[in-house]
Structures are given as C-alpha cells and as structure tokens.
Amino acid sequence: MLCSYGRFPDETPKDAAKARGDRHNPPLPGIYPELWLEVLSRERISDLFRTLPGLAGHWTTVQNEINSTHKAAFFVLNGATTQLGRTIYRAIANAIINAADDAGFDFPLQTLVFAPDVARLKIHRTNGHLEVESRP
C-alpha cells in the first residue's frame, strides 16, 4: 500500500528518501526492484555514452549494479531467473540500446552479463551504426 511519503505505510520519510536513492546510494534491488531499475536508468544508464573515455568505467558500474541482483529473490529463485528478473533485465538492455543509439561516437564491443540463464547484451557502434549482437 502506498502512502504520501513512501511505498509502505510503516516507512518513515527518511526510509522513503533512502529507498528512492541516488547514483551513490541506490535502492536495494532485492527490496525495491522497480525503483532500483528507475534509479539505475535515470542515474547510471543515462551517463553511459556521454564520452568514450568514460564508457568503460560507467559500463563497469552498471555491471556491478546488475551483479547486486543475483542474490535477490525478486530476480533469482531456486537458481533460475524469475519472470520479474527477466522483465527488468530486458528493460535495462532496452534502455542501454536506446542510449547507445544516441551516442555521438563509435565504441568497441561492450558485453553486459545479466544471469547465467539470460542472454547477454552485446553491442558496438561502428561508423555511426549501432549493432546489437545479442540481447536478453
């Protein structure tokens, strides 16, 4: 149940603010998976393709965020990726592809690993053309 300052009635305003997160304090994916996706998209994926020199570091940060989902029951249950996990991973891939399509520079092959039973995102941009080799 939602309330005026948070997602749940027993949340304090401080808890709600922390849950909304920012780039250096994102919400926990195992507690707020949809909110985690929103913050990841707004704060991290939007920065991926700002500059070619910054791409590697930003890509690693996004990979680390995805790695943080591997122990969350919303994403993985009994060793298999849940439907919610697959949906969120696809949304991440789509957001990255959209951001990459708007990149003002070419970049080499980038691979993002989601989970063992989910296809990897593999993309590169050559001569201004975005190539998506695989996606979840």
Q: What is the pLDDT of residues 30-72, one digit of tens each?
A: 788 888 888 888 888 988 999 999 999 999 999 999 998 888 8
Name the residue range of residue 58's domain.
28-134
**How do 107-112 and 121-126 pair as beta strands?**
antiparallel
**How do 107-112 and 80-81 pair as beta strands?**
unpaired
pLDDT at position 47, please?
86
Is 111 part of any domain? yes
Flag whether pLDDT at 121 surpasses 80: yes
Total number of domains constituting the chain: 1
